[in-house]
Structure formats: structure tokens, C-alpha cells
Amino acid sequence: MKELVIDLEAEKTEILKRYRALLRASKSTLQKGDKRMIRKAFDMALESHKDMRRKSGEPYIYHPIAVAQIAAEEIGLGTTSIVCALLHDVVEDTDVTLDDIEQEFGKKVAKIIDGLTKISGVFDTNSSLQAENFRKMLLTLADDVRVILIKLADRLHNMRTMEFMPRDKQLKISSETIYLYAPLAHRLGLYAIKSEMEDLSMKYMERETYQFIKNKLNEKKTEREKFIRDFIEPVKKVLSAQGLEADLFGRPKSIHSIWNKMKKKSVPFEEVYDLFAIRVILDSTPENEKADCWKAYSIVTDLYRPNPDRLRDWISSPKANGYESLHTTVMGPRGQWVEVQIRTKRMNEIAEKGFAAHWKYKESSTDSGLDQWVQKVRDMLKNPDSNALEFLDDFKMNLFSDEIFIFTPKGALIQLPLNATALDFAFEIHTDVGASCIGAKVNHKLVPLSYKLQNGDQVEVITSSKQVPKEDWLSFVVTAKAKAKIKSALKEEKRKIAEDGKEILERKLKSLKITYNSENIHKISYFFKLPSTQDLFFNVAKGLIDMKDLKEYQLSEKVVENKPQDKIDNEQLQGLLRNIKAKDSDILLIGEDMQKIDYKLAACCNPIPGDDVFGFITVSDGIKIHRTNCPNATKLMANYGYRVVKARWTNQQELAFLTGLRITGIDDVGLINRLTTVISHDFKVNMRSITVDSDNGIFEGSIMVYVNDTEHLDNLIKRLKTVNGITSVARFDAIDKAS
Ligand code: MN
């Protein structure tokens, strides 16, 4: 057993030394009476923790002092928080009660300490208990965000002083930190604390890798520092020549972020090029901030060539957590890309201290993204329905909910909203890249345009000069930018096609001897139920309305001209009927006297024996048989009632009628085989065509089959539904107009 030799006098001196350092750190926020308050808290903490020691053997009081110091110095919190930080462990670990605290320090402090006490031991072995505790922890957020901020300071200090903990505790605390505290710090804008937490967790969880990268960074330290000096020097000169006061320095990226990059891009350490970022921190006045930042940007990019794709302007639109900065990547003097971050002192303070600094400067912007986020969390906490585990998931999601970060092949960061797809990314890079995008590689794997990106994905866009924006793209893109660009491209495309269509229609009408004028164009549009003349031109250009259709329009016009619609001209109808040649082997009876006359089955609804049907007299194409539930039936009967004739099936069998089935299911090997076996082998039904669409394991197929009648069809449908993997089978009502 190790014997501990303690020099109590030396310890006392050390404690006071640390306490005075704390006072110095909080100096900027101290107001009258604050110092006395802090002293009182310190005395109470010192007294109640007096016989306690940390695992390292040090006096326990070092810990609350350190937490208070982090709160003051690194988060920028004020007196109330410093008092609470000093007292954060007393209620839990000593005889001091909440009432005592309230009596000495007031309601506010007591409430924060209460919050801090409730959330100690948040993580326990039982995962649902852990979730419930975590929920409790976040409930404190509803009262006072300072509780979370002090908790983060507490956690950071524990992480910094973990060497003496047993290994299993180290692992447990590290994983909690990486799972929850680091994302929470990030969301609250505490970048420095977040990075340190990540690095410290990695130090315990991935010891070897951590040490490896750390050594590598040390090896190159001198070289790197020289590079940074050479890079900064000319920038500094021009900045001051132009009257801009600025601090410039190179900051190494965190070990954890370098490691992440190595993993994501699967590259060795040597190929991670951005091991550091250059920061330009400007001393500016509030009204000149933006202009000064851009001035500095202009100076930097005069000296070094920028990569235009990597300009990030978080000054015009700050991140949800309040972060403001101008980022650019430039080609350094030795042919190496260097990231430069330009911001003012105020912006830098927000970048490093996040929430607290944000409060300090808030006056002007009351509706920042961060406030909205806190409000959202509060609302979520009020929802009593969600059980603890679900809640935790929701919350974790919420930590990053409004943004994901995607890497370009060169490692530049692109910020996108949650659920953004590969196509959104392409449009984010450039409109032309989006418009000609045919696919993408995400983490070197080929994915479709609609692929939903995950935070940290690296995306390479594949383009083709033959590609044009498609209508269905609108169904999956989420960014406003992509949507707007696709819409305008489609509109432009349609406009061009319609222009061609106009000429074609003019020629066609001429040959039909129909005058091309606005009245007729409108009439024709109306006849084809099109919302605008542009749609008419478009349909003509696409061949969806051809000469035959136009003739039909012409004839309908003549019929309408000759015969008013409300009067059925029996004579004409009979004349038409007489002209239709009788068929020898007939199965359909048509007309009042149910004659057997020639007919055609309408392609829009493919009637089969057993269906309720009616006949429709087309002047050029004889009688067409439609199902009464045909999508066109209402239109036909409403507009041309006088051309409708009764029709019904006889009992004729053994004839085959074409009908379509739409089948959906879970795609797997052999599904099509099983389907076709049932259709052609079991049912001896002939198929005319099969089209299959498979997307992400979902199978969608259209099969055209020949059946005898509805009963035959119903049986086939019933049987197909029993095929393994099939989720639905339905006859489809109409063939798409386009097909
Ligand atoms: Mn503590």
C-alpha cells in the first residue's frame, strides 16, 4: 500500500493560491458584493469538503475550484454560476442541505444546485434508468441553462483528471462524454470544450491511435510552425498597412478530428492535409465588423489563391448555435491548401465560449437559432407522452437536427439540412453540377441521386453532359436551392418544348383547315382538358396529342355545331350503328335492342367480360367499350351523353382480354420467377408484358395479362397475393396517358 504523506500547511497555501486564481479569472464580471458572495461559497465548500480527498489524493476542494474556474474562464459565466460551481457537490456529498443553501445564497442558487444534484449519477448501468436520469438532467434546462453549462465544466474537469481512476471507470466516463456531453457542448457552441472532451475521450478509449497521432503531430511541430509563420507574415503586413488590427495564429486541429478524417477518407495521417487552420481575429467595431471581415478576406485572397468552392460565409447567416465566421481555403506558398478563418474578437468569443458569450452580445438579436433550439428542447420536455428512451433518441437527434456536415472529395466541409440527398449536395456545389448529376459516390460507394446523406459522409458527384433536370427530382430534394433550380430548369425546358409545339400545331391545324387563332387554340385546350395553351403546345410537341386526336376534336366540333347536345338524334345514331359491321362470334350486346355489332375495347380501362360497361360512339373508330368506372367515363357521359350506348356481356367464355396488374412487394431473388410461375404455369395465363421497378429493396411491377373475365382475374389476384414477398396486387384502372 502506498503511503500518503500530506503537508497540510503546503496544501492550505495551494488552496488559497487556486482560489485567488479563480477570483482573477472572474474579475471581468464582478460587481459590487460579488466578491463577498464568492468568498462565502468558497468557505462553505472548503468547510463541508474538508476531510474529503479525490482519487489522486489531492484535497477535494481543488475540484469545485477548478470547475468554477472553467465556468468563469472558459465558458464566461458570471458570479451566480461561480457560486453554484463552488457548491455543486456539497448537497450531494456532505451534510449541507438545499435549505441551508437557500438561506445563505437565495432561491436562484438553490435552484441551480438542486438541478445539479438531481443530475449527478445521470448515467447508470441500467439503460432505461439512464435514459430517465438523462431526461431529468435535461429537464433542468427548462429552468436554467446554467445547470447544463456548469455540468459541462464539471465533466470537463473530471475528464482532465481521470488518470487515477480505475480503467473501467475511465471507459465508462469517456463513453458518456463522447455520447452525450461533447455533442451537447457542440450544440451550445462550446467548440473548445467539445474538442477537448473528444480528445480526452479518445485518449482513454483509443489509447494507441491517440498516442500515434499525437506523436506524429509533435514530429512535424517545428516544420508546421515555420510554415505558419511564413504564411502569416505577409498577411499581417498588408492588414496593418490597410489599418486593420488583427491577431493571426495557426491553430492545430484536434487529434479527434484528424482521426475522424483519416477514418472517413480512409487515408493515412500523411494525407490529411489540413492539420491546422489559420485564424485572423480582427479588432473591429460592431458597425464595421462585416466590412472588415470581407476586407481581410480580400487581402488574404490577394496574397493566396482561394478555392472558390470553399468559401463559407457564416457571418451573413450564422450557424444555429450562433457561430459566426468567414472560412476560406487558399493555396499556400508550398502548394498546400490552407484553411483560413476570419472573424472579429466578438465572433471569436462566441465561437469559443458559445452560449454565455452569446448572451452577453445578444441585445440586438433576440431570435437567434440558439434561443430557438433551447425553446424547442423546452417544448419537447413538456411533452409528457414520450417515454424516456424515445425521448433520449429524439433529443440526440435534436442535438444536430438542423445541420449535417458533408465532405467534398478534397475534404471541404459542406453544411446541409438534415435529410439532404446526394442531389442536394450536387446543387450545393454548383447549379451546373446539380443539373448534370447522374449519381454520386458516398464514401466511395455508388448511390442513387435520392440517397439521404449522413453526417460526415464524403461525397463525390458524378455528372454527365447528357443529363437534364427531371420532374421527379422535386420529390426528394430538400434544400430550397436545389428545388428552385430544378423548377426553373424544368420550366425553361417546358417553355422551349412548347415553343416547338406551337409551330407543329400551327402546321397541323393548317392541314386540317382549322384557323390558327386564339379562340380555336383555347377551344382545343379545353377539349383536351388542359389548363393552359402552353400545356397544349407542350403535349403536341411531345406527341401526346397527334393528328388523330386533332381530327377527333374537329369532328366533335362538327357534331356540336350540327346537333345540340341535349337532343339525341336517333336517326344519326342509328345511321352510325348501321355502318358498323356485325361481328360473327360475339360476346357483347350493344344498343337498346342489344345487337351484336362491332366494337373495340377502350385502351384507357381495358374492360373484360364481367365488368360493367357502356359503348361510346366515336365517329372515326366505331364503338368503343369502356368500363363504367373508367376514369374517362364521367367526362364522356357528361359531355357526349348522346353518343353513349348500352352494352353488356353475354356468357361467352374462352376469349382472352388484356388487363393490367400492379404488384408491389419486397424485392428478393426469385420473386419474379415465383410470380411468373403462378401466372403462366398455375393459371395458364398469357402475359403480354412485364415491367419491373426495383428501388431500395421495394419491388414494383406492372404485368399485362390475358384473362377470360372478372372471375378469372379475381382468382388470379387472390393467388398472387399468397406469393411470398408480395404485399399488394391490384388491377389498374387505366394505362398512363404517356404509355
Ligand atoms: Mn463534481
Q: Where are the domains of the chain?
A: 2-164, 216-361, 401-478, 488-558, 565-649, 657-737
Evaluate whether 307 touches 330 at the Cβ level (below 8 Å).
Answer: yes
* Nearest of 85, 78, 90 to residue 112 by alpha carbon: 85
Place of cell 421527379: 472
List, in sequence order, every residue forming a beta bridge with 69; answer none if it has no partner: none
HSE (CB half, 13 Å, CA atoms) of 595? 14
- Is residue 93 part of the annotated active site? The answer reads yes
Diameter of the chain measured on Cα atoms: 124
Q: Which residue stretches of 310-408 are H helix?
A: 345-353, 355-360, 369-382, 388-399
- Residue 48 CA to ligand 1 center (angstroms) comes to 14
Q: Angle 385-389-390 (CA atoms, 0-180°, nearest 5)? A: 55
What does DSSP assign to residue 31? -
- Residue 154 CA to ligand 1 center (angstroms) comes to 5
- Residue 67 CA to ligand 1 center (angstroms) comes to 7
- Residue 157 CA to ligand 1 center (angstroms) comes to 8
Name residues whose C-beta falls within 8 Å of residue 194's C-beta, 6 or more positions apart in sequence. Answer: 182, 183, 185, 186
Report how far residue 459's alpha carbon sits from residue 110's, in angstroms, rounded to the nearest whole number. 50
Mark residue 94 as left, alpha or beta (left: phi above 0; alpha: psi -120 to 50; beta: remaining).
beta
Among residues 14, 58, 73, 93, which one is catalytic?
A: 93
- pLDDT at site 296: 95
Going by their DSSP bridges, the two strands 246-252 and 276-282 should be labelled as antiparallel
From edge to edge, which strands make up the β-sheet containing 600-601? 588-590, 644-649, 613-618, 622-627, 600-601
Among residues 92, 233, 302, 695, which one is catalytic?
A: 92
- Residue 378 CA to ligand 1 center (angstroms) comes to 25
From edge to edge, which strands make up the β-sheet containing 437-442? 445-447, 437-442, 459-463
- Is residue 270 part of the annotated active site? The answer reads no
* Nearest of 593, 576, 529 to residue 737 by alpha carbon: 529
* Nearest of 196, 197, 161 to residue 59 by alpha carbon: 161
Q: Which residue stretches of 533-600 are H helix?
A: 533-541, 547-562, 570-579
Q: What is the pTM of this model?
A: 0.51
- Residue 72 CA to ligand 1 center (angstroms) comes to 16
* Domain 2-164, CATH number (from 3.40.50.1110, 1.10.645.10, 1.10.3210.10, 3.50.50.60): 1.10.3210.10
- pLDDT at site 248: 94
Place of cell 474556474: 69
Report how far residue 243's alpha carbon sits from residue 288's, in angstroms, rounded to the nearest whole number. 13
- pLDDT at site 5: 66
- Residue 18 CA to ligand 1 center (angstroms) comes to 17
* Nearest of 633, 634, 637, 616 to residue 625 by alpha carbon: 616
- pLDDT at site 143: 60
Report how far residue 324's alpha carbon sits from residue 427's, in angstroms, rounded to the nearest whole number. 24
- pLDDT at site 380: 53
Where the chain has pLDDT below 70, the residues are 1-5, 118-143, 320-321, 354-403, 411-413, 559-598, 619, 634-635, 637-639, 641, 650-655, 669, 696-697, 733-739
Give the number of other Cβ atoms within 10 Å of residue 521's Cβ.
19
- Residue 120 CA to ligand 1 center (angstroms) comes to 8
List, in sequence order, every residue forming a beta bridge with 247; answer none if it has no partner: 281
- pLDDT at site 237: 94
Evaluate whether 426 touches 433 at the Cβ level (below 8 Å).
Answer: yes
Give the number of other Cβ atoms within 10 Å of residue 457's Cβ.
23
Give the number of other Cβ atoms within 10 Å of residue 134's Cβ.
23
- Residue 256 CA to ligand 1 center (angstroms) comes to 25
- Residue 90 CA to ligand 1 center (angstroms) comes to 9
CATH number for the domain running over 216-361: 3.30.460.10
- pLDDT at site 596: 59
Q: Angle 277-278-283 (CA atoms, 0-180°, nearest 5)? A: 135
* Domain 401-478, CATH number (from 3.30.750.24, 3.90.480.10, 3.30.70.1350, 3.10.20.30): 3.10.20.30
Fold of 657-737: Alpha-Beta Plaits (3.30.70)
